[in-house]
Structure 1
Amino acid sequence: MEILFLGTGAGSPARSRNVSSLALKLLDERNEVWLFDCGEGTQHQILRTTIRPRKVSKIFITHLHGDHIFGLPGFLASRANQGGADELTIYGPRGIEDYVRTSLRVTQTHLAYKLRFVELKPGVVLDDKTFRVTADHLDHRIEAFGFRVEEKPHAGELLVDKVRAAGVPFGPLFGQLKAGKTITLEDGRELNGQDFIGAAQPGRTVAIFGDTRQTPRELPLAEGADVLVHESTFGVDEAKLAHQYYHSTSVQAAKLAKKAGVKKLLLNHISARYVGKLAKDLQYQARGIFRNSTVVGDLQEIEIPFVKETDHD
């Protein structure tokens, strides 16, 4: 699992930062990409990566401000032109379907794949065999959401040394034990596959927030996450301005990360006023509260590794 930041700026494109979008790359058997927001120019940013638009299966929209959705119609059209044929699901606040379908109708854009829309409400919005996604309201000028993406535990691995020690001949019986089945050996012994499978590997959790100022609803979404992606539109000296415009400072995000017990804080949605050293100052401010804080940049990729239980000791 990896996060690729396609746009880390706030409000409007800047020289060094495009507007909001990030890709969550699921590198397991799903081999899918989920986008979170799709600001203007997102498809241009994707051209600078290895992402194939047809691999994008889901798009989660945090809120309907332009810097988070103006790139959506263009991306959808390009996905069709580049061979995308599989259904794509868009999760977003009320109004997202009207926006997309109106854009496609007015421009007479015809997609070669089916679009499905899920109107967001607080609670579980996706739950399948490998992932559970929960959404809740944040505090912005319009309806806005944060997401908690929880990967379900991976099945434990076959304890090969233990299997060999039990005298099981290599071959189909290995596969049956790995599937948890009971097998019978030539000498009459019965072996239960569950006794030869290691502990399940905990899944990873990523919390991805849209624009927001401080709200108690952030905490349950972020609790214990491996990675928290949080906006940092302003610095600590502009806390009043952040509150006025329904945004957050780097220090406020860091305080949440510390309280929630997350492992890593990634700060994005950076105002254009913070360039060069000033952006580093945002990171410095956050690290004074929560050490593992990073101000991310466009096209920066962050791997989210598995964490073994012993790593918590």
Structure 2
Amino acid sequence: MDNDDNLSHLRVRKLQNNTWIVKTRAGDVLVNCPPETLKFLLASGLPVPKIILLPPDMPIGQQLGSSGFVHRGINYASVEFLLYTNYFVNGGQRTRLITVTPNQAQRLHQILQETIVGPADSTEYYPHPWVQRECRLLSYHPPLGRSIEVDDLAEIIELETGGGELGQGISISLDGDQYRFSEDGVEIASVSTAIDASAMPLILAPPQPVLRQEITLQFIGGSDGYDPEGITTCFLAYFGSTGEDRVILFDAAAYLRVRLGNLGISPAQISEVVISHLHEDHIAGLPELLLGRHRVRLITSKIIYRSLLRVLSAMLAVPENEIAVLFDYFPLQPGQPLLLEGKTFEATYAIHTIPTLAVRVNGLCYSGDMRYDEEWFTQLEADGILSQTRRLEIIQFAEGARILVQDAGGGPIHTTLTPEVLSSLAAKSKHVILTHAPKSHHKLPATLQDWQNVEFAIDGYVAAVGKVLHQNHEIEKLETISACPLYARLSISGRAALAQQVELGTWEPGEGILQEGETSDGRAYIVHKGLVKTWVGEKLVQVLGRGNSIGERGALTLEPRVASIVASGQTQMLILDPDVFQSVASRLGLSAVYKRVEWLWRHPIFKHLPWATLLDLALDFQPLHLPTGRLLFDYGRPGNECYLLISGAITLLTKDFEPVGTFDKTGEFFGGRAVLFGTPRNTYACVSQESEIWALPAPALQRLYLLYPSVILHLRAVESRRHGHAPLISALEIDPAND
């Protein structure tokens, strides 16, 4: 290593999750900012940088689950809590946020507006205009004499308009796929813009036994956004007397899929997601949930829903109407109960800095983030800020709840635990669980130390009320098989039979399950509990949880394994012995689609997906071999399928038979507008060179809507940019920066 390399090495410190700190005369620069970066910094004993350099946009279509600031479901512009720390903890310091383009800067400001301040347009609060007034009250900052605004916390600049000049002779530039740092015109460091490592959380909740009762809560986390030793408040709620393994998720902590998997939960088990509000610590895990496997039903108020669309649109750099396609929305408005499959959801607005819901469902009450203080409410009524009706609505909302999950974060915008507040809460519910507080704050007032019905939630904590339900462990195997899209193709009787045939294996932390390069023994596996890590060489490429299957490629071909699979924590796997797997493979026709899977595996859009997922997708494609001159579809006709071009050439023509262009690159997607948007075909398609194409019929697309929302997002993004006239836009070259 020469002197320049030594100097660069001393300047750059690599941290977890594709982040770096570059030391300069103008101050430390943090490169990339995934969720919980603040916690990683605090745990490492590092100061919070005042300059944050964000990544270039990921063009949609390069990688499923990635677009804009989001890479594989992780938002690398998760700056909110660093801004809070620099301003409120470090003496009112503004954070300089550097994006590449003005478009990114505008979108970042939109995210921060919605998540820190709330909707800027007062009409967005209709029909509850008083919500904005209450939010402004909580966000009032005495040193400013007004409510906090985004520009108080951050300066957002972009490289394209000179934002790389940091002062003191320090500059940053983007050169291809490298950020280059210069001092007095001399390069001192460079950092790659590539984000290729799988992001992992600092902490995983330890799995605890879950003895199901009529209401059972399983906490992924019970702390706040600052605590490096705890996970932000997020929990699962099981209801009913059947023992069915379907849950409601309340808020979405960061790295949600990994954290669910560590607890033995598949996203397929989540029936609804309730979003209380849009602070980063409550929605950081939502993009990866929405862009992953399985469609979810999202429940929140209309104010919060519209704000959420703007946030996700800005994160992903796609239009709001395309975001809305990713999930099914069920509005939950105060005074308008929502009935959903035997569950009754009710809501009121909590008092917080941005619109926030408190929610009740079948005996459970969740406060959301809330400053709860009945004496304060009385003063607000006297000051004319709250009406009597509104004050009583807040006070009475939790009365009679069998379990009350209550914010206890303290300070001016959360609930402070005084004897009076705790006495009031304990009178409303026989079981009060306090959240949003680090372990160091888990102390009841001295006069209430012996209370048995009040406790603090910690990571992995389980609480339950009501009669104990019978649990059938064979049913758990069936649920795991059903959570795997590939094996869920079997009939229910076929899955039940498979649950009887599989073996259950247990691996200890760090123990190898499969070894790269070893000859396959013909077995396949489904993750049942815990997590497994997939390694190719020394690179971690995937972390998989319950309902993900592995080993099918080797089991089909008996070729050497192409990756190593290692248990992360104690892990249980369902093992399909060779004869069991071959029976399933025969029923599903897996051998017949092997070549299709290998082709998808080399496709730039699909190559990052697990091989078993590609196997599932390949079953839906129908190969067609078409001669030159064949008319594939007509202008103005409805569409029932879309296509992937494998070989040959397809020419598109206007209604007047004028050429729009020709697709001749393998892997090109076309013909999707009519079937995706329900519109007539806007071109003719003619085979201009003998071709092989794969058709994806409408029923298969509907399955994609349910199981692979990120695939649908990509296909819709491609077609939304095509207008039936030249120039022809390739699906392989879509770039949101050109919108």
Q: Tell me the TM-score normalized by structure 2.
A: 0.29
Are the counterparts in 2 of residues 255 and 290 from structure 1 also a CA contact under 8 Å? Answer: no
**Range 20-29 or range 126-135, more displaced:** 20-29
* 1:43 shift after superposition: 2.6
Q: Separation in 2 of the partners of 1:115 and 1:264?
A: 33
**Range 69-78 or range 115-124, more displaced:** 115-124
Tell me, yes or no, if structure 1 residue 265 matches structure 2 residue 432.
yes
- CA deviation vs aligned residue, 1:183-236 (integer Å, no higher than 9, x gap): xxxxxxxxxxxxxxxxxxxxxx110111111254333221111110001113xx
Q: Separation in 1 of the partners of 2:397 and 2:467?
A: 20
Letter in 2 for 1:211: D
* Partner residue in 2 for 1:293: 454
Q: 1:250 is matched with which residue: 417, 434, 439?
A: 417
Letter in 2 for 1:248: T
Letter in 2 for 1:74: E
* 1:289 shift after superposition: 9.0
Tell me, yes or no, if structure 1 residue 130 matches structure 2 residue 357.
no
* Partner residue in 2 for 1:141: 353
* Partner residue in 2 for 1:89: 298
Letter in 2 for 1:268: T
Structure 1 counterpart SS, 2:282: helix
Letter in 1 for 2:268: R
Q: How many residue pairs were aligned?
A: 228
Are the counterparts in 2 of residues 254 and 286 from structure 1 also a CA contact under 8 Å? Answer: no
* 1:145 shift after superposition: 1.1
* 1:266 shift after superposition: 0.3
Q: 1:129 to 1:116 in 2, by over 3 A?
A: closer
Q: Separation in 2 of the partners of 1:142 and 1:103?
A: 19
* 1:129 shift after superposition: 5.3
Please give the residue correspondences for 1:1-313 in structure 2 after superposition, counting only pairs within 5 Å. 1-15=215-229, 17-26=230-239, 28-29=241-242, 31-78=245-292, 80=293, 84=294, 86-92=295-301, 93=304, 94-106=306-318, 115-128=327-340, 130-150=342-362, 205-214=363-372, 215=377, 216=391, 217-234=393-410, 242=411, 244=412, 246-251=413-418, 253-260=421-428, 262-270=429-437, 272=438, 274-275=439-440, 278-279=441-442, 281-282=443-444, 285=446, 287-288=448-449, 291-306=452-467
Q: Separation in 1 of the partners of 2:225 and 2:307?
A: 20
- CA deviation vs aligned residue, 1:216-274 (integer Å, no higher than 9, x gap): 4333221111110001113xxxxxxx2x3x211233652332342x110000100x4x5
Q: Tell me the TM-score normalized by structure 1.
A: 0.64
Q: 1:60 to 1:253 in 2, by over 3 A?
A: farther
Structure 1 counterpart SS, 2:370: coil
Q: Separation in 2 of the partners of 1:125 and 1:101?
A: 28
Q: Separation in 2 of the partners of 1:133 and 1:104?
A: 30
Structure 2 counterpart SS, 1:3: strand
Structure 1 counterpart SS, 2:336: strand
Letter in 1 for 2:298: T
Q: 1:300 to 1:253 in 2, by over 3 A?
A: farther
* 1:148 shift after superposition: 1.0
* 1:5 shift after superposition: 0.8
Q: Percent identity?
A: 23
Q: 1:122 to 1:97 in 2, by over 3 A?
A: same
Are the counterparts in 2 of residues 97 and 117 from structure 1 also a CA contact under 8 Å? Answer: no
Structure 1 counterpart SS, 2:355: coil
Structure 2 counterpart SS, 1:250: coil
Are the counterparts in 1 of residues 337 and 347 from structure 2 also a CA contact under 8 Å? Answer: yes
Q: Separation in 2 of the partners of 1:126 and 1:120?
A: 6
Structure 1 counterpart SS, 2:397: helix
- Structure with higher Rg: it is 2
Greater RCO, CA 8 A, separation 6+: 1
Give the root-mean-square deviation of aligned CA atoms.
2.9
Q: 1:20 to 1:223 in 2, by over 3 A?
A: same
Are the counterparts in 2 of residues 219 and 256 from structure 1 also a CA contact under 8 Å? Answer: no
Are the counterparts in 1 of residues 426 and 453 from structure 2 also a CA contact under 8 Å? Answer: no
Q: Separation in 1 of the partners of 2:415 and 2:399?
A: 18
Q: Separation in 2 of the partners of 1:211 and 1:10?
A: 10
Q: 1:130 to 1:118 in 2, by over 3 A?
A: closer
- CA deviation vs aligned residue, 1:37-80 (integer Å, no higher than 9, x gap): 112233332122122111112111111111111111022223x1
Are the counterparts in 1 of residues 332 and 338 from structure 2 also a CA contact under 8 Å? Answer: no
Q: 1:101 to 1:91 in 2, by over 3 A?
A: farther
Q: 1:302 to 1:219 in 2, by over 3 A?
A: same
Are the counterparts in 2 of residues 62 and 144 from structure 1 also a CA contact under 8 Å? Answer: yes
Letter in 1 for 2:270: V
**Range 32-41 or range 87-96, more displaced:** 87-96
Gaps of 5+ in 2: 1-214, 378-390, 469-739
* 1:3 shift after superposition: 0.5
Q: 1:147 to 1:253 in 2, by over 3 A?
A: farther
Q: 1:290 to 1:256 in 2, by over 3 A?
A: farther
Q: Separation in 1 of the partners of 2:357 and 2:417?
A: 19
Are the counterparts in 1 of residues 365 and 404 from structure 2 also a CA contact under 8 Å? Answer: yes
Structure 2 counterpart SS, 1:14: coil
Structure 1 counterpart SS, 2:358: strand
Gaps of 5+ in 1: 151-204, 235-241, 308-313
Structure 2 counterpart SS, 1:258: helix
Are the counterparts in 2 of residues 18 and 41 from structure 1 also a CA contact under 8 Å? Answer: no
